[in-house]
A and B are shown apart, each in its own frame.
Chain A
Amino acid sequence: MKVSFVLNGRSLEVDADGMTPLLTLVRERAGTGAKLGCGEGRCGACTVLVEDQPVASCLYPAVNVDGKRVRSVESLAAPDGPLSAVQDALLACGGVQCGACIPGIAMTLTALLEKESRPSADRVREELTGNLCRCTGYHKIVDAALAASEEPA
């Protein structure tokens, strides 16, 4: 079936089976950095925003994205433009180690900071329960979220 959606501000129409994971559309067809981790919606590496809300794109059927707005990590900064506050803070605080989880974590934190300008460390941890990171022990990622929330918008 034809599936039309807006990816990072650009209209996209793809021909795909309705049960194709959104992750396949945004990664394999459109070349974005959302990653396949577990493929079962538990690790968060595939997190993208649909209508500004984090979703596990590996579990999101293509038919349901029709007509919606999707953002991947590429929406945060132009290829040679400045990084977003969340990305800058992740780098500055040492939150990026191997990097496998980062495209998802950057999107989860972006959505959080769009909703709540000054979340507590507990709120950040709560929002990150769907994103696994095997390198950092999360402290540096939480530090980064708090640092980014203190940047002037």
Chain B
Amino acid sequence: MTTTESTERVTSIQDAVTLLARLGERGRALAGGTWTMRGERDAHVHVALGGIAELGVLCRDGDTLRIGALVTHAQLAELPAEPATEALAEAARRSAFPQVRNVATIAGNIAAAGFAEADLVPALLACGARVELASPTGTHAMALHEYLPLRGSRPAGELITHVLVAAPPARRSGFARFTVRASGEYPIVSVAVAAEVDADGFVRSATIAVGSVEPVAKICPVASESLTGQRLTDLDAIEEAGRIAARECSPRDGLDAPAWYRTAIIPTLTRRAGAQAAGKDRS
């Protein structure tokens, strides 16, 4: 038992950011805790967000999903069936297992540094998610793909309060991950594909994001661009985009898989994610 309390409770966003700003580098926001509880904890004072009711709310504002920081993977797994956000729901459904999905949060998945395999992150990247950040001086929003590389150098007192995911009716999306056993594991590769499709089924713009290959999930811009003007149902074109995505990645070696293997399966995973986006059976 430690003699110094490692945890502080807060009940409002204002109190949370004020306290985090005061704690500086020692302060760390605590959501579900499934990641934090496995790491080194002694050096930190954890600011427990569980008492801030509004952070647990998932609502829809026009065409945008507004997802509170504390919304769990289990809640996201039950998003109403909708092509625009299917990648996100699928990533949540396939992640971990019930004991973790019931507790692990969306903001925790984004904030967990050193977690290359985070499932929600590539899905959120493909869907163009933005993070809403609160700090003692106010709130602002930033694209997730801009936020991720800056995660380690954010000012003290900044907190992810919401994740905003636009869900326009013309968007289709899908997600695929590969594990050695059926489930309950981290993915060796995960791929999310989202595309805005015109009335004739041609892609106006697309985003392909790859997780678990590099230390942080990323968008593959050249692969994404290659889908413009293609039919979303043309799975060969999508697989070709996957080959381009593979060339845009610098894969990491791991105990689960060597670097070359991750790259080698990106095209197939891209095809599977694309097939889900196109509403086709996986093939």
Binding site for B on A (CB under 8 A): 1, 16-21, 40-41, 44, 47, 50, 53-56, 58-61, 63-64, 66, 108, 111, 126-127, 129-130
Contact = CB atoms under 8 A, between A and B. Distances in A.
Interface in B138-187: 182-184
Contact of B50 (A1, A64, A111): A64
Interface of B: 1-2, 5-9, 30, 32-34, 36-38, 41, 46, 48, 50, 74, 96-100, 102-103, 182-184
B223 to A, nearest CB: 31
Contacts, number: 94
A17 B5 contact: yes
A21 B38 CA distance: 10
Contacts of B182: 129
B259 to A, nearest CB: 24
Chain B interface helix/strand/loop/mixed? loop
B99 A18 contact: no
Of B8, B9, B48, the most chain A CB neighbours within 10 A belong to B48
Contact of B32 (A20, A54, A64): A64
8 contacts: A41-B37, A53-B74, A59-B34, A59-B37, A60-B37, A61-B33, A61-B36, A66-B9
B167 to A, nearest CB: 26
A109 to B, nearest CB: 11
Given A19-B41, A41-B34, A56 B5 contact: no
Contact of B5 (A1, A40, A58): A1
